[in-house]
């Protein structure tokens, strides 16, 4: 028995359909395999997939040396803004970042930078004593107000001085408590919002690294 022309045509169309489906499936699989890992998705983290520029970073570190974007390159950086007379929020954040740094694999270059928004009371020597108490490798930095304000405000970091009503002119500083993440290109990659958890930040950092591929 021989195939009729109609039967042969149907068979040819079936082969073509199978070939098209196989091609489409192959393309979809290739895209799925080559796609970057998903970005972290939690209510305490804001991630910038392409990274963002900030206003110019023009600071002085705790050794009195310039601290600019160049000092961020080649490392992942956790950055927190506060002041050394801070009674609770800043020490708590520094202890938490100490744990994140300790729990991050040794082959991942990670540095922690504490930026004082109270340069009047936090000269380099004060910053050095303060940050190295938590970790000898922590970096303290500050700057002139004309440099601090545009840099901090470009990331939504706000601070304000409040008099304490004493004759000696004592004051405290209200400030935001987010931790900023910069990538090894010096781009602003993420904001970690409180309440902070070291394990969550460590895990999210790993997820962002996998997405960026660095």
Strand, coil or helix: 76 = strand
Q: Which residues sit opposite 191 in a β-bridge?
A: 46, 180
pLDDT confidence of 160, banded at 50, 70, 90? very high
DSSP string, 142-176: E--HHHHHHHHHTTT--EEEEE-S-TT--EEEEE-
> For 23-50, what is each residue's pLDDT tens digit?
544 544 444 444 566 666 678 999 999 9
Mean pLDDT of 179-202: 97
> For 129-151, what is each residue's pLDDT tens digit?
999 999 999 999 999 999 999 99
| CA distances (Å), origin 98, targets 109, 134, 177 | 14, 7, 16
Does the pLDDT at position 20 exceed 50?
no
Residue at token pair 């591929």? 213
What is the pLDDT at residue 164?
75
> Which among 123, 117, 114, 130 is positioned nearest to 175, based on CA atoms?
117
What is the pLDDT at residue 33?
41
């Amino acid at each position: 028995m021989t195939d009729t022309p109609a039967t042969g045509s149907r068979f040819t169309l079936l082969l073509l359909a199978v070939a098209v489906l196989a091609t489409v499936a192959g393309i979809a699989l290739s895209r799925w395999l080559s796609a970057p890992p998903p970005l972290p998705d939690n209510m305490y983290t804001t991630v910038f997939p392409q990274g963002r520029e900030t206003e110019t970073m023009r600071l002085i570190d705790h050794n009195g040396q310039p601290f600019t974007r160049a000092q961020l390159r080649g490392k992942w950086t956790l950055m927190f803004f506060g002041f050394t007379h801070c009674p609770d929020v800043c020490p708590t954040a520094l202890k938490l970042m100490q744990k994140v740094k300790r729990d991050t694999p040794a082959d991942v270059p990670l540095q922690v930078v504490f930026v004082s928004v109270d340069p009047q009371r936090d000269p380099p020597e004060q910053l050095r004593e303060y940050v190295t108490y938590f970790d000898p490798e922590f970096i303290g930095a500050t700057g002139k107000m004309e440099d601090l304000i545009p840099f901090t405000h470009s990331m939504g970091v706000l601070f304000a001085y409040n008099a304490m009503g004493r004759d000696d002119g004592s004051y405290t500083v209200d400030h935001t408590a987010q931790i900023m993440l910069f990538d090894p290109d010096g781009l602003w990659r993420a904001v970690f919002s409180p309440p902070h958890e070291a394990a969550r930040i460590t895990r999210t950092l790993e997820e962002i690294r996998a997405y960026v591929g660095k």
